[in-house]
Structure 1
Amino acid sequence: MAIQRTISPVDGSVYVEREQASAAAIEAALDRAVAAQRAWREVPVAERARLCSRMVDAFVARRDALAEELTWQMGRPIAAAAGEVGGFEERARTMIALAEEALAPIQLAQKPGVTRYITREPLGVSLVVAPWNYPYMTAVNALVPAMMAGNSVLLKHSAQTPLCAERLQQACDEAGLPAGVFQHLHLSHADTEALIRDPRLDHVAFTGSVAGGAMVERNAAGRFIATGLELGGKDPAYVRADVDLDAAVEGVMDGAFFNSGQSCCAIERLYVDASIHDAFVERAVAWVRQLRLGNPTDPATILGPLVRPAAADLVRGQVEEAVAAGATAWIDPGDYPLSVPGSAYLAPQLLTGVDHTMRVMTEESFGPVVGVMPVADDEAAIALMNDSAFGLTAAVFTRDLVAGEAIARRLEAGTVFTNRCDYLDPELAWTGVKCSGRGCSLSRLGYETLTRPKSFHLKHA
């Protein structure tokens, strides 16, 4: 039987070993999921809400232990790791609260002799494929609303964060959810693909790379099942000349460097009005230099390692190529002794003199680096912000809220912000355009992707 190993970015040690599910275990899980869903769909929404709320209670009760495990699995500083549990709770409780209204039948004006209405029917068995970077906050986007909608769930978590799947299973079991409504499986890539092709599966929610999203589409092709794909970004921000400069620097830099930049909606490219460009860069460089790179188990650490050395080396390569092409790197990696080639620890970096011929401005970095370009006006900023294969989020920093909203309307992104970034409001739809994926999670609209409409036309005898 195949063994998967989780190598901790903290110190390179093997932190977790797990056997991957056998063919027999996968078959049994599918059969349980199908049987459980037939009964679960008949459970009233209010009872589903009670059980899912108990699951959330059981989960957050382990906040400290969950945070420590998260730090060792993927490297987030312990000072910030508990925030993941808080984010999970907020999203879960929001979706539970929205369910009754979102899933209620749509009543239509009656015609003489006819009763008409539309119900939201669960899809069946949902496969949730979750990533390592926000392993609880991404998984919850699909798994709680899927269960609230009357579906059963199979969770396949990243091999980097297998304990996250097990802790969710533990919480579901303690809450008393019926057996088979929620199950987790440690799977190989090949077994995941085979699972997507299985006719007993009715829905896939995938968060990950563009290549991973293409894999889902290939294996779901011809089955006509629902898929939700959240595939990352190269998210831009624009800083207009009228901003509070210190507030803009704080907001944008935090959006770029939190979680070492390992967020699908992190700010990775920045456009600043030319009249304030130099002043912005001066303040931004000072902000970056106060980041402390270190062991993430130390509460004083602000910046932890990337998930693995190869991820750090990819960003190093992007930075080196940009500098060779004429960019200026403002941070000296020598000031960060842990940051050496081949290490998961990577010095933060801010680049100027960049353009869209450079990979660091066009390809997803997923690390602690941001490129800054001056722009002449709003039109130039909009053109550059939209010049991307991705479209997850985009942000405009300005005191002129009317102008900011007008700019936001023209940006090609699933979520647009003014005066903040790298944030998810669970009452808003989470969605992307272009290579950032398709589909929608969270909000009332998220329930539409986890159900199908069924129309009732009842002619009176």
Structure 2
Amino acid sequence: MPIATVNPANGETLKTYDALGAEEIERRLATAETTFRDYRTTSFAERARLLHRAADLLDEERDDIGRVMTTEMGKPVKQARAEAAKCAKSMRWYADHAEELLADEEPADSDVKDSGASRVLVRYRPLGPVLAVMPWNFPLWQVVRFAAPALMAGNVGLLKHASNVPQTALYLEDLFRRAGFPEGCFQTLLIGSGAVEGILRDPRVKAATLTGSEPAGRAVASVAGDEVKKTVLELGGSDPFVVMPSADVDRAARTAVTARVQNNGQSCIAAKRFIVHTDVFDAFAERFTAGMKALKVGDPLDEDTDIGPLSTEQGRGDLEELVDDAVENGATVLCGGERPEGFTEHGWYYAPTILTDITPEMRVHQEETFGPVATLYRAADLDEAVALANDTPFGLSSNVWTNDEAEADRFVRDLEAGGVFFNGMTASHPAFPFGGVKRSGYGRELSGHGIREFCNITTVWHGA
């Protein structure tokens, strides 16, 4: 895949870039290793000062970088600006909390004495250069939620971004440089996927994090496992959105629309499978369908646009195949199911779509729909709702709408997911751990759990 900015609203190639050669990759790896030796000794206060400066710059430049993201991957520009603002907020959160999150820990006195020590503490130390393989769908946020904690922990970052967002990738390197981080603290590597294995096997690279597809995750995990290197993987998701009779159905239906089509439906944590109790199914379906039909599809640079194009022509083709397979096998289309009128010749648009009467034989029942396509299921009771919610190879997050405390306890106990969000849509926040189970990956990003993923957890024991 070429390293290029191709505007998904019209298919126009705006900029192209040459991939780094072996000599330049070697120079950058050497710089990362050298920089780490000094940077790891800097104080939390100094790292925080630099990260606050990066956040300030990002806030000042959110309009410009928002337009860049929109022209590279198609998200509505108002959502792009919001993404930039979220990144700045998260940078400040880690700048303000990292020292506390990584403070030395002291075991109980009784355990220290039992070990024969006079003092024992647990210290979190940085690992070194960490390789981040990141996707295009949230081209700033996916990187910042790795970079902010990694840099505050004293690590240095090497970014292999998706090949269709090179301008955003280069902006991030420049942002951290202009904020005052030493050269080599954060470097963007404009490389193809074929170069990742060699970099990950290099002994100077100590760990890797990947957000992306399941095949990409397997590939990186296999190489890292062979090299015995730590990895964190955040892969696909097919999150359930369960609505029970005690819920506020009107609010659930309104939220369902946003939960499905955020980022043009291209989000791992977007709700994708809507599982509704039979007692409220018809009311929910009517409101949900009306909300999806009311969305404005158009130019993502237009402030009034709700749905822009999918990021690539291949992505739209994959989505069309899933919908066509479902329809051919008996699914009912409540709305959409085709390229929207007026957008059939230019740009990679797809209409907001709801499919129902889904059966296990359909590909859409098991595969992730990465675009504005929702599947709608009817559940007879709580047991069937839980069974449908778990009937997926993924387990990233989940949404449950209920005002029954006993039902809520049951969902928390039985749902196979890294998060359960009640009466609201899934969202990430720097203070809360984020990640999944099953084929959605392993490890956690964000919060104290995330910053400690790439630390050497060191036991320090002093004899009596």
Aligned match of 2:128: 124
Q: Distance in 1 between matches of 2:404 and 2:444?
A: 30
Aligned match of 2:137: 133
Q: Distance in 2 between matches of 1:301 and 1:450?
A: 39
Q: CA RMSD in A?
A: 1.7
Q: In the alignment, residue 88 of structure 1 is paired with which amino acid? A: C
TM-score, normalising length from structure 1? 0.96
CA contact (8 A) 1:338 1:346 kept: no
- 1:63–1:342: structure 2 CA closer, same or farther, 3 Å change rule? closer
CA contact (8 A) 2:339 2:349 kept: no
> Any idea what the Cα deviations from partners look like across 1:294-339, whole Å, max 9, x if unmatched?
1111212111000112211211111111111111101255793145
Q: How far is 1:443 from its partner? A: 0.6
Q: In the alignment, residue 238 of structure 1 is paired with which amino acid? A: V
CA contact (8 A) 1:405 1:418 kept: no
Q: Distance in 2 between matches of 1:89 and 1:321?
A: 42
Aligned match of 1:57: 56
Q: Distance in 2 between matches of 1:312 and 1:45?
A: 45
| 1:249-398 map, 5 Å | 249-332=253-336, 336-340=340-344, 344-398=348-402
Alignment partner for residue 241 of structure 1, among 228, 238, 245? 245
Q: In the alignment, residue 54 of structure 1 is paired with which amino acid? A: R
| 1:109-258 map, 5 Å | 109=109, 110-111=112-113, 114-258=118-262
CA contact (8 A) 1:395 1:408 kept: no
Q: Distance in 2 between matches of 1:314 and 1:26?
A: 33
- 1:361–1:79: structure 2 CA closer, same or farther, 3 Å change rule? same
SS of residue in 1 equivalent to 2:215: helix
The unaligned stretches of length 5 or more in structure 1 are: none
CA contact (8 A) 1:396 1:408 kept: no
Q: Distance in 1 between matches of 2:433 and 2:153?
A: 17
CA contact (8 A) 1:313 1:342 kept: no
SS of residue in 2 equivalent to 1:393: coil
Aligned length: 459
Q: How far is 1:399 from its partner? A: 2.0
Aligned match of 1:423: 427
Q: In the alignment, residue 30 of structure 1 is paired with which amino acid? A: L
Aligned match of 2:7: 8
Q: Distance in 2 between matches of 1:297 and 1:222?
A: 45
> Any idea what the Cα deviations from partners look like across 1:429-453, whole Å, max 9, x if unmatched?
1111011001111011112211011
Q: Distance in 1 between matches of 2:117 and 2:319?
A: 67
CA contact (8 A) 2:119 2:463 kept: yes
Q: Distance in 2 between matches of 1:83 and 1:360?
A: 30
> Any idea what the Cα deviations from partners look like across 1:29-58, whole Å, max 9, x if unmatched?
111111111111111112111111111111
Q: Distance in 2 between matches of 1:338 and 1:31?
A: 52
Q: Distance in 1 between matches of 2:281 and 2:101?
A: 46
- 1:140–1:405: structure 2 CA closer, same or farther, 3 Å change rule? farther
Q: How far is 1:343 from its partner? A: 5.2
- Runs of 4+ with deviation above 6 angstroms: none
TM-score, normalising length from structure 2? 0.95
Aligned match of 2:105: 106
Q: Distance in 1 between matches of 2:93 and 2:226?
A: 34
Q: In the alignment, residue 185 of structure 1 is paired with which amino acid? A: L
Q: In the alignment, residue 78 of structure 1 is paired with which amino acid? A: V
- 1:113–1:393: structure 2 CA closer, same or farther, 3 Å change rule? closer
Q: In the alignment, residue 419 of structure 1 is paired with which amino acid? A: N
- 1:44–1:332: structure 2 CA closer, same or farther, 3 Å change rule? closer
- 1:431–1:320: structure 2 CA closer, same or farther, 3 Å change rule? same
Q: In the alignment, residue 86 of structure 1 is paired with which amino acid? A: A
Q: In the alignment, residue 46 of structure 1 is paired with which amino acid? A: A
CA contact (8 A) 1:6 1:15 kept: yes
SS of residue in 2 equivalent to 1:366: coil
Aligned match of 2:28: 29
Aligned match of 1:43: 42
Aligned match of 1:456: 460
Q: Please say if 1:75 is aligned against 2:79.
A: no
Q: In the alignment, residue 196 of structure 1 is paired with which amino acid? A: L
SS of residue in 2 equivalent to 1:38: helix
- % identical aligned pairs: 35
CA contact (8 A) 1:354 1:371 kept: yes
SS of residue in 1 equivalent to 2:370: coil
> Any idea what the Cα deviations from partners look like across 1:84-107, whole Å, max 9, x if unmatched?
101212222222222111111112
Q: Distance in 1 between matches of 2:165 and 2:124?
A: 33
Q: Distance in 2 between matches of 1:194 and 1:49?
A: 32
Q: In the alignment, residue 69 of structure 2 is paired with which amino acid? A: L
- 1:339–1:356: structure 2 CA closer, same or farther, 3 Å change rule? farther
Q: Distance in 1 between matches of 2:336 and 2:147?
A: 43
SS of residue in 1 equivalent to 2:398: strand
Q: How far is 1:422 from its partner? A: 3.1
